[in-house]
Structure 1
Amino acid sequence: MKKILNFIDGINRILLLLLGVFLSIMIGVLSVQVLSRTLIGHSIPWSEELARFLMIYLVFIGAALALRKQQLIAIEFVAEKAKFNTRRFLKITSNVIGIVFFGVIFVQGLEVMARVQTQVSAALQLPMSVVYAALPIGAVLLTMNAIAVIIELGIASEDKNMEVEK
């Protein structure tokens, strides 16, 4: 199980770097766009489209990383009052429900990609299937990190049981 967690965390480190690159590109392009519009009076037609597409990927990658660190917004007042095993059960259950939801996003994302495969974006002339690929890619990343959280909760349970036995 530790090998699986190490593998997922390795992928997450790469995703964190990718997140930084995408954010840097987005900030740079938007900064040039604002300067171009204010100083020259001419806007760059593709900059807003690129920023929008990067933001879509940033949201899915960021959500996957936040899920892994259990930093997504959650209502936990019930879980906080519960005992360890109940809290663990609630977290595992919510992650399993999340995995089912991510499966729906994955399937629907593939269907949308198939429908838009002949379309291209207005300014960048990028196939829209590349943009909509964020849905299945994000679903896979979210599922991967939900599984990691479930594994960690299972390991925490084993560690807790070992402490009780001592």
Structure 2
Amino acid sequence: MVLMVFGQVLLRYLFGISISWSAEVSQFGMVWLCFLGAALAVKERDHMRVDYFINLLPATFLPFVHIILNIILFIFVAYLSYSSIPITLAFMQDITPGLGVPYGLVSLAMPVGGILMLFYLITDSINWFVSDKKEITL
């Protein structure tokens, strides 16, 4: 994506040539990168939370906090993924001007990223229940 944008800038300003589809590729890549990156953050347990307040709690509350955080995140991601399916289907009819592909392929990043996040949340929860809970930290 970076090479695409850099190449487009060079071509435009040095040679006066513009690639019509380069802006779309970089925009679509950014959308996919955001949702796949969010899934990776969930996998690595780096999703958004305020550790400062969690660390103020006694250690006996940490298992409950872990369960509550996973449940809240699971509900949010499940709703986001489910709600994005009609949008994705509706956008499949619209075609991008530069690439000639459906806009739905861009919005498909939301349900795909959501499914990956749900998968990682489920595996994290299962791993938490079957392993020694003292080894897993928030």
**TM-score interval, normalised by the smaller of the two chains:** 0.7 to 0.9
User: Aligned pair in 2 of structure 1 residues 150, 83: CA closer, same or farther (>3 Å)?
Assistant: farther
Give unpaired runs (5+ residues) of structure 2: none
Q: Equivalent residue of 2:18, what SS?
A: coil
Which residue in 1 is equivalent to 2:85?
A: 110
Post-superposition offset of 1:159: 4.9
Q: Deviations over 1:12-67 (max 9, x none)?
A: xxxxxxxxxxxxxx122112101101211222111111101011111111111111
- Structure 1: any 5+ residue segments left out of the alignment? 1-25, 162-166
Give, in angstroms, the shift of residue 82 of structure 1: 2.1
Cα deviation code 1:96-155 (max 9, x no counterpart): 111111111111111102212211112111111111111110110111111222223324
CA-to-aligned-CA distance 1:63-112 (integer Å, 9 cap, x gap): 11111111223212221122334122112211111111111111111110
Structure-2 residue corresponding to 1:94 = 69
In 2: Cα distance, 1:159 partner to 1:61 partner: 28
User: Is the CA contact (8 Å cut-off) linking 1:110 and 1:136 kept in structure 2?
Assistant: yes
Matched-pair identity in %: 27
The equivalent residue for 1:141 is: 116
What is the 5 A alignment of 1:5-154? Answer: 26-154=1-129
Q: Which moved more, 1:69-78 or 1:56-65?
A: 69-78
Q: Normalising by structure 2, what TM-score? A: 0.87
- Identify if the C-alpha distance between structure 1 residues 80 and 152 changes in structure 2 by more than 3 Å, giving closer, same or farther: farther
Q: What amino acid does structure 1 have at the position aligned with 2:119?
A: M
Task: Report SS of the residue matched to 2:48.
Answer: coil
Contact 2:63 2:133 in 1 (8 A): no
Name the structure with the higher helix share.
Answer: 1
* SS at 1:123 equivalent: coil
State the one-letter code of the partner of 2:45: Q
Q: How many residues align?
A: 135
Change (3 A) 1:132 1:159: closer
In 2, Cα distance between the equivalents of 1:159 and 1:106? 30
The aligned counterpart of 1:22 is none
Please tell me the root mean square deviation across aligned C-alpha atoms, in Å.
Answer: 1.8
